[in-house]
Structures are given as structure tokens and as C-alpha cells.
Chains A and B, each alone.
Chain A
Amino acid sequence: MQRIPTFSKGGVHPDDRKVYSRSAAIERLPMPSELIVALSQHLGAPAKALKAKGDTVMKGEKIGEASGFISSDVHSPVSGSIKEIRKVTLANSVQCDAFVIVPDEVQPADPEETVDWQSLDGSELLSSIKDMGIVGMGGATFPAHVKFSIPKDKKVDSFVVNGVECEPYLTADYRIMLEKGEQALEGAMIVAKIVKAERVIVGVEMNKPDCIDHLKEIVKEKGYPIEIVGLKMKYPQGDEKQLLKAILNREIPSGKLPLDVGAVVSNIGTCNAIYEAIVLKKSLYERVISVTGECIANPKNVLAPVGTKMSDLLDFCGGFSKEPEKLISGGPMMGFSFFDTETPMTKGSSGLLALGAQKKYRSTACLNCGRCVAACPIALMPAKLYRYISNGEYEEAMNTSLMDCKECGCCAYVCPAHLPLVHTMKTGKKLGRKKK
């Protein structure tokens, strides 16, 4: 029997709960009355505002310019006027300036002409990715043009597309693969040309067999040199380290990037955005977000402009069916819980979850059972780190590879003492950096 690939160390098996929104086709959100477009929708330095209060903006016009090496442009999702520039707090607690844009009643139609990307060379493609403000859409929002700029001394042989979507509840990538699979795979081919990769591999978890079949059909029809690989379900397979281990059996050393082992990893949603940016000349100003959870009346996958307030998304999905205990932006394992429904979504918002009341457990002392060590996909010792951090020994924690922790949540998920391990790691990282 053929072995189904997955990563080897650690990982957990949460209930996938994708049933709420998996059968809901992507729907376009009716134009909201107001958009809050934040200037820090990516990892790195916030963009610099190019417009002022009272200015009018066009759909797709650049309104924020990248202000550093790791930074990205921001575009207006609508034609309209800027009501004000104000400080906002995003769902991940980042504070930044944001444009409040009131859309015009009549919006211009999307241009129909397409660009033949085959005629462009790698650097032209890369610069248009930069101009279109593409960032990683899995949630980390790392600027795509930085990721795809391969240093001269590095060589990339494989481009791995992440269609895993291992977070429970989320179905945005699933719907993209089913409905926009052609676009996404063509986007993957564009990236492969930029990074000069010989192999293009798409990894999809086995809980999405229809996606695997659909993508395989497209590949056969179009004759793309793309491999579609079904992966065994395990969280956090969508992390680039785990994905490379599962697909290519390569391990990324501590503090290194996939580039160092000759691979580039990108999300399937990003590939779709790249296709739209290059071929349809559409900058990244809208994305698919799953609005789901037990407390949402009609869970949906919504194509919404960036900057849509969470309250508009909730209204579109029929509001709450019962009072939610927790609102989460992103997935339940790595997402951020937030409380203000006026918070805007960003380029990295893959989900909006409203979860019901759960049984509450009191944290007890660490039992030294070692389950967190077994669950950690990068072989850290969360219990040891927890002890160091709660005793204020941040330097020791940093020396015990605290900075390698990617806050995937496996340790806290399995902890029988219900210790808030991930929260501790985040606190320790912050204080450890401050000390240094």
C-alpha cells in the first residue's frame, strides 16, 4: 500500500469543522457603506499614505506606498472619497493609520482585457507583483515580491503550493481551488517562471478529495507540469516547514528559510491573487474570507473588499444565530480573538469565526507529562519554555529556542493541565526581545 505523505514529528488532529461553510459557493459582498483600509496589512513596515483627507480615489489606485524593504503597497478597493485618516486597531492588535473610504454609488466595471504573461520575463513579473501589493494570503501576509526575489547565490528547484488549509473551520482556499482552480494553477505557473523552479507541486489534504480531483483534471486538460499531492490530515501541515517535510522530505534548519533548502512555498490563495494581478491587472484589494462558526446564522465564503468592517460581513451572513463567546479573525488555532466588530478585515484575513461557549477549564500546575513535547512539530520543549518564562528567565528561554516557536498552538491544544502555553510563548518573545 502506498504511504500517504505527511510530516513526521508532532502535530495534532483537531476536528476539522469545515462542514459549516464548505458547500457555500463564493459570494460577492454588496458594497459596504464605508471601508477602513489599513496601511499595515502586511508583515514589516507600514505603508506610507499617498492620499489625504478629502481626496478622491479610483478603484485599484495605489493609496499607500511600501516604506521599507519588507513592506507592501496598499490599493483602494473602491472608487470613492476619503472621509478621514484615523488610527485603528486591527484584529491582531496592530495599531496603524487607516483610510476611511466612502464608496461612490456607481463603481467602474472590471476591465476585460487580459495580459499574456508568457511574453513577460521574470523581473517584469516580479515588479508587477510588487506594484499590485501582493502579500501571502495564508495569514502571515509576508510581501510576495520579497519572497520571490531569489538571491543570486541561491537556487530554487521546487515551488510548493500550499492548498492544505489545515486550520479547522476555514474553507476560503477550498472554495478557491474548486471555483478558481484554473486561475490559481496558472498563477502557480507564473511564480514558477519568476523563481525558475523546475517542479511545481500542490499539496492538498485528503479531507478535500474533490479539490484534488478537480485540480488534477485541470492539470491534465491544460498540460501544466504540475504535480498534485494528497496529504494525510494533520495540523499544522500548512506551515511551510511542515509542508516541505511532507512533500519534499526536506527540513529547514532553525532560523533559515525554505530558500535555503531550494524551495519556495506559497499559498494557493496567493497564486490566485498573482494570476489576477498579472493577467487581469487587478491589484490586491479583495479576498475570499470564510465567515463561519457555530454562531453564524448562514455561514458563507465571501469575496469582500479589503477594509470591510467585520460587522458588514456578519450582517451579510445573517448575523448571529446565538450569542457568540468569542470572535476570531483567522483560524481557531492561530487566529486572533478580537472584540470590536467595527474592526476592518485585511489582506491576511482568511476567516471570521464566531464560536459558541465552551466548557471552561481551570489551569493547573504542569504535570510534566510531555504531551506538548510530543505534539510540537518543530521539536521544542514547551513545558520547559513555560517554566522559564513564568519565572522571568527570558534569556534562558531564548537559549532554549523560544524564537523558533511559531505559535501553532499544538502544545496548548494537547495540554491536559490547560496551561495557556501559546500566550506564554508570545509574552516571552516580547519580553525576551525587549531585554536583548
Chain B
Amino acid sequence: MNIVMAIIVVAVLGGIFGFGLSFAEKRLAVKKDPKVLALEPIMPGINCGVCGYAGCAAYAAAVALGEAPIGLCSPGGPDLVAKMAEIMGEKVDASGETRRKVAHVMCRGNVEVSSKGYEYEGLEDCNAAFLLFGGDYSCKTACLHLGSCIKVCPTDAISRDAEGYIIVDEQKCISCEKCVQICPTGVMHMIYEDSEYAIECNSHEPGGKVRKVCTVGCIGCKICENKYPESGCSVDKFLATFDQTSPHSQIADAAEACPTKCIIKR
């Protein structure tokens, strides 16, 4: 008898609550902006915060309200911009950048090839080391190898290789530029993913000064630019840069001729 009573009571209570909940769902529902509902699923969903908002949902809401412009989401890239523009009914200039950018460490310095000013024993954090004379390397724009970028990367794309160099997994990189922002020496650059070569040096110091502190730095000798006009390299302020879009048929020769071998095939 008792068990029957219990079943009846629970069943009646369940019925009342069920009815109440279904009523609340229908009648008390908060109306969400259909634009937000449409935007939310297409966001990358990694909540990296590069757009300046707390996460993907917050950015979607801000866009739907018209508070934020489309195109702040770098992980989403041009595809997302197109989709968002369609939902928002806006026209975006489609001729813009469509090549993907990835983070890259522009330094091949290490303990063997670069000179050090002192022995650093402090906190394992690049910004902490940078407080003391801009890091232990004599070159003040070098990679400090302490891995602040590894800590901030939201997709674990950055790691150390066996030799201690900081490497970026370009498949995982979402171009959020968090590592670029945290890096105190500015050695982390965003480069085009399709670039075949990169000039892995970050020093704008004149050649003599670079030579004194590092054997693999760009000395701004302009051999790549002058001897190989088709190399796609140009030198500005004693530092060469490589541009994939300009004619670059001679880049392999230029890399061979580079006296400090800082033109690296990726």
C-alpha cells in the first residue's frame, strides 16, 4: 500500500513540475536576438579574447547590437568575415587580405652563437628577464627562450624543440597574436603562412654591432637585395625581409649566398 502511495505522490508532483516548466519555457522565455543566435554557432569558439571581448559569445552579441565592427576575429579569418557580413546584411570589401598569417620566431640565436651579458637565474618568464637589462643576451631583440609565448597560446601551438628553440605549430596557430603581444623583445612576428622563406633575425642594429653579439643575425649587407634582384628580399634599417608576392626565383641562391645564413627555408 505504502509503495503505491509513494508512486502516486511522486507522479503527481512530477506532473505539476513538468507542467510548470513547460509553461515557463513557452511563456517566460527570454527572446534572443535571432542575429546572435545565427552568429554564435559560426564563431571559432576558442574564446581567445583577441577581439577585446570576454569570449566568442560576447563578441557575437556586441556585433549583433552594432557595438563592434565585423572583422576583429583573427582566428576566424576572411571566411568568418564573409559569413558574419551575410548575417548582418553588411557589405564587406572582399578584395582584402585572404592569406593566412601565422606566428613565427624571427631569431636563430642560442647560447652557442650569441653572446650573453650576464647569467640570468630569475623567474622563468621572458618579461621578468626583460626587466633586467632587456634580457641576458647581448642582442636586445633576441628570443629569450623562456617561453612566455608558450604560456599565453590558447591552442598550445607553441612549444620548444629539442635544441631549446621556440617553434610554432602552424596548423594549430589561429593568428590570435597573443604571443606577439606578450613578447617583450618583439621577436615574435606574424608572417604569411605560404611564405617559403623567412629571414630569421629581428635586429635593426648595424652589421658591426650584430656581428659582435651574434653570428647568425642579419647584418644588412644587402647581398640578397643587390646581387639577387629576383630574390624577393629587401633591406630596411639593416634588416632584410622576404616577400613571397614579389618575384622570388633567386631566393634559394640568395639564401646560399647570405654570409650569416639567416635566410631560412621553412
Give residues in A with beta carbon < 8 Å to B. 89, 93, 337-340, 360, 390, 392, 420, 423-424, 426-427, 430-431
Q: Are A93 and B133 also in contact (CB < 8 A) when A340-B117, A392-B151 are?
A: yes
A sample of 20 more A-B contacts (CB under 8 A), given A93-B133, A339-B118, A427-B131, is A89-B133, A93-B131, A93-B132, A337-B132, A338-B133, A340-B117, A360-B121, A392-B151, A392-B152, A420-B123, A423-B122, A423-B123, A423-B128, A423-B131, A424-B123, A424-B128, A426-B131, A427-B123, A430-B131, A431-B127
List B residues 132-150 near A (Cβ within 8 Å).
132-134
Which B residue sits closest to A89, measured CB to CB? B133
Flag if B123 contacts A339 (CB, 8 Å): no
B125 at the interface (CB under 8 A from A): yes
* B125: contacting residue among A337, A339, A427, CB under 8 A: A427
Cα-based distance from A426 to B131 in the complex (angstroms): 8
Q: Are A93 and B123 also in contact (CB < 8 A) when A339-B118, A392-B151, A424-B128 are?
A: no
A-B pairs under 8 A by CB, number:
34
Per DSSP, chain B at the interface is loop
Per DSSP, chain A at the interface is mixed
Q: Which residues of B contact A338 (CB under 8 A)?
A: 133
Q: Which residues of B contact A431 (CB under 8 A)?
A: 127
Most buried by B among A93, A337, A360, A427: A427
Q: Are A339 and B131 also in contact (CB < 8 A) when A392-B151, A424-B123 are?
A: no
Q: Which residues of A contact B131 (CB under 8 A)?
A: 93, 423, 426-427, 430
Flag if B122 contacts A420 (CB, 8 Å): yes
Flag if A426 contacts B128 (CB, 8 Å): yes
Q: Which residues of B contact A339 (CB under 8 A)?
A: 117-118, 133
- Smallest CB-CB A-B distances: 10 pairs: A339-B118, A427-B128, A420-B123, A423-B122, A423-B123, A427-B127, A93-B133, A420-B122, A423-B128, A339-B117
Q: Which residues of A contact B125 (CB under 8 A)?
A: 390, 427
Q: Which residues of A contact B133 (CB under 8 A)?
A: 89, 93, 338-339
Q: Which residues of A contact B132 (CB under 8 A)?
A: 93, 337
Q: Which residues of B contact A390 (CB under 8 A)?
A: 125
Q: Which residues of A contact B123 (CB under 8 A)?
A: 420, 423-424, 427
Q: Are A93 and B134 also in contact (CB < 8 A) when A339-B117, A340-B117 are?
A: yes
CB of A346, distance to nearest CB on chain B (Å): 16
Cα-based distance from A89 to B152 in the complex (angstroms): 30
Q: Which residues of A contact B128 (CB under 8 A)?
A: 420, 423-424, 426-427
Cα-based distance from A337 to B132 in the complex (angstroms): 8
Cα-based distance from A397 to B36 in the complex (angstroms): 33
CB of B151, distance to nearest CB on chain A (Å): 7
CB of A225, distance to nearest CB on chain B (Å): 45
Cα-based distance from A431 to B131 in the complex (angstroms): 11
Flag if A430 contacts B127 (CB, 8 Å): yes
CB of B145, distance to nearest CB on chain A (Å): 17
Most buried by A among B118, B121, B151: B118
Cα-based distance from A340 to B118 in the complex (angstroms): 9
Q: Which residues of A contact B118 (CB under 8 A)?
A: 339
CB of B77, distance to nearest CB on chain A (Å): 26
Most buried by A among B123, B125, B151: B123
Q: Which residues of B contact A423 (CB under 8 A)?
A: 122-123, 128, 131
Cα-based distance from A177 to B128 in the complex (angstroms): 38
